[in-house]
Amino acid sequence: QVQLVESGGGSVQAGGSLRLSCASFGYSIGWYCMAWFRQAPGKEREGVATIASDGTTTYAESVKGRFTVTRDNPKNTLYLQMNSLKPEDGAMYYCALRTGSWCSVSPQMYKYWGQGTQVTVSS
């Protein structure tokens, strides 16, 4: 069974940085799009960043210039470097994989999901 496991979440002061990781077990990620989503309590799940099989990236406007998504295909691992964190960035962060090389920001397009890692940003 395919499993995605996130790590790296925690509590940080505004302006600080965190790096999230997502490891894939039982599935090779090289040909597929992967993405990060986040969801705060009472809010809808929103796309944060995507990275296609060729390395092409997209970002939500709210994080553009502050977050960087990368992938290490031989390690089957996805990363999200988050800099200049703001309180509004606080949420549960999920990684996801869709079985296609091109990316989407719609959660409905992703087949596999991790269980999430919590990010809290203090003022």
- pLDDT number for residue 113: 96
pLDDT for res 46: 96
pLDDT in tens, 72-107: 999 999 999 999 999 999 999 999 999 887 898 899
Nearest to 93 by CA among 77, 110, 80, 103: 80
What's the pLDDT at 29? 82
Q: Is the pLDDT of residue 108 over 80?
A: yes
pLDDT of residue 2: 80
Closest CA to 22 of 41, 46, 11, 38: 38
3-state secondary structure of 8: coil
Contact (CB, 8 A) for 19 and 64: no
pLDDT at 27 over 80: no
Confirm if 79 and 51 have CB atoms less than 8 A apart. Answer: no
